[in-house]
Structure 1
Amino acid sequence: MTDDVSHDKRALRAELRERRRICTAKEREEFNTGVTANLIELAQRLGSTSIAAYLSTTDEPETRGFLRWACDHDITVLLPISRADGLLDWAPYDGEEEDKDLIGMPAPTSEVLGPIAINDVDLIIVPAASVDHSGMRMGWGRGYFDKTLGSMETKPPVYAVIFDNEYVAEVPTEIHDQPVDGIVTPSGIVTITEHN
C-alpha cells in the first residue's frame, strides 16, 4: 500500500514539476501578481502580526513580493532553514541577503532562532505540490513541513501556496502527511477548515 502511494506521489510530483516548468514568462508574471495580492489579503483578513513563510524557488508561486510587503507593514516574518535532522530552524526575514541551506533551498542569512520559534506566529504559509479539497497537502517529498506541523501542539491557520490547477479532488496520502486550513492561488483564497 505505502509503496503504491509513494509511487503515485512521485508520478504526480513529476507531472506537476513539468507543468510548472513549461509556464510562460507572461503567465508566471500574472500568477505571481495574483498570489502576492491574495497573500496580502489573507494576512490583512486574519490581522496577522507575525508570519512563518518561505522564500520561493524559481518554479514556485512567488512569495518575495508578499514578504517585502509584510516587512514594510511591521509584520514579523520567520523563514525556514533546513537542518540535517529533518527539522526546520527559523530566522527573521530582513529583505536583505539570501543564501542556500543544506538542501539547496533559499534561506535568510539572519540570526537562526531554532525550531520552536514558529510556535509564536499567527499564520503559517507553506509550499506545496498539490492540495486536495479536504485540505490534505502533498509536499515535494522531503517531509520538513509535515514534521514541523505535526510537532506543533497548537497551530495557527496554515495556508499552502499553489497554482490554481494544483487544487485537486484528491492527493495520495500517507500517515505522516499534514493537512492545511486553506490555499492561496493566483485567482483567490480558499479556506477549507475554519480555524478557531
Structure 2
Amino acid sequence: MPSEPDGDAIATKRALRAELRGRRRIRPQHEREAATEALTTQLIALTSTLGPRSLACYLATPDEPETRPFLAWACAQGIRVLLPVSRDDGLLDWAPYDAADERLDVIGMPVPTTELLGPIAVNDVGLILVPAAAVDRSGMRMGWGRGYFDKTLGSMDRRPPVFAIVFDGELVDELPRERHDQGVDGAVTPSGITRFTA
C-alpha cells in the first residue's frame, strides 16, 4: 500500500487500533491460555532456528500475547534477554531480564527492576521481538501509536531479524503507513511463523 497522506493514515490507524484493542479485551480466558501455549511453542521454534546468543523482547501487558513463558525458557537456555524501558524523551533504555520482580515504566508498561542500560544496548542482540497491534503481509507493522519501536528500529545501523508478535487474525492483508513506520522481517502468531520477503 502506498503511503497515505499522514493525516489520513493517522485517522485510519486510530480507528483500527481502537477496534483491535477492543477485540483483545473481550478475548475469553481459555482462548488466551491456548494462545499463550501455542505462541510460546512458535517463539521457541523461531529462536532455536535463528540461534541468537542474546535477544530483545518485552513483558506483555494483560491484553497482549503473553511473552513470559517464552522469556523464562530463553533464560533457562542461557540466552541473554534485554527488555525495553520507556523514557520521557521517546527513546528506549534496555534492562536485562532475570524473571524476578517487575515494575511499571513512565508510560505504565511492565519492565524488569534490573540495571538500566542505554538505548544502544540493543545493537548487540541477534533477534528483536516487538509488540504490535497488527502486521500486514508486506511486513508493515502497526504499533500502538507512541513510536518507541519505530524510532529504535529506524536508528539501527545493523538490524538483526525483527519479528512482531501478534494474535491470529492480526496478520492482515494491508495496513495504512506513515513515513516514519518501520517494517519487520516476520510475524509470530499462535498458529505459525510468517517471514516477509524484502
Give the TM-score band, short-chain normalised.
over 0.9
Pairing 1:26–2:30 present: yes
Paired residue for 2:192?
188
**Any residues of structure 2 matched to 1:101-116 within 5 Å, and which?**
101-116=105-120
Distance in 2 between the 1:33 and 1:49 partners?
A: 23
TM-score, normalization: structure 1?
Answer: 0.98
Q: Give the structure 2 partner of residue 51 of structure 1.
A: 55
Match of 2:80 among 76, 79, 103: 76
Structure 2 length as normaliser, TM-score?
0.97
Task: Give the one of 143, 149, 153 matched to 2:147.
Answer: 143
Identity %: 64
Opposite residue 195 of structure 2, the aligned amino acid is T
Whichever residue aligns with residue 69 of structure 1, its letter is: W
Question: Aligned-residue CA RMSD in angstroms?
Answer: 0.7
Q: Which runs of 5+ in 2 are unaligned?
A: none
Among residues 32, 41, 44, which one is paired with 1:40 in the alignment? 44
Deviation at 1:164, TM superposition (A): 1.3
Could you tell me how far 1:193 is from its partner in structure 2? 3.2
Amino acid at match of 1:115: P
Question: Which residue does the alignment assign to 2:8?
Answer: 4
**Structure 1 alignment gaps of length 5 or more:** none
C-alpha distance in 1 between matches for 2:175 and 2:87: 27
Q: 4+ runs of 1 displaced by more than 2 Å?
A: none
Return the offset for 1:149. Answer: 0.2
Q: 1:148-195 deviations in whole A, cap 9, x for unaligned?
A: 00000010000000011000011110000000000000101111137x
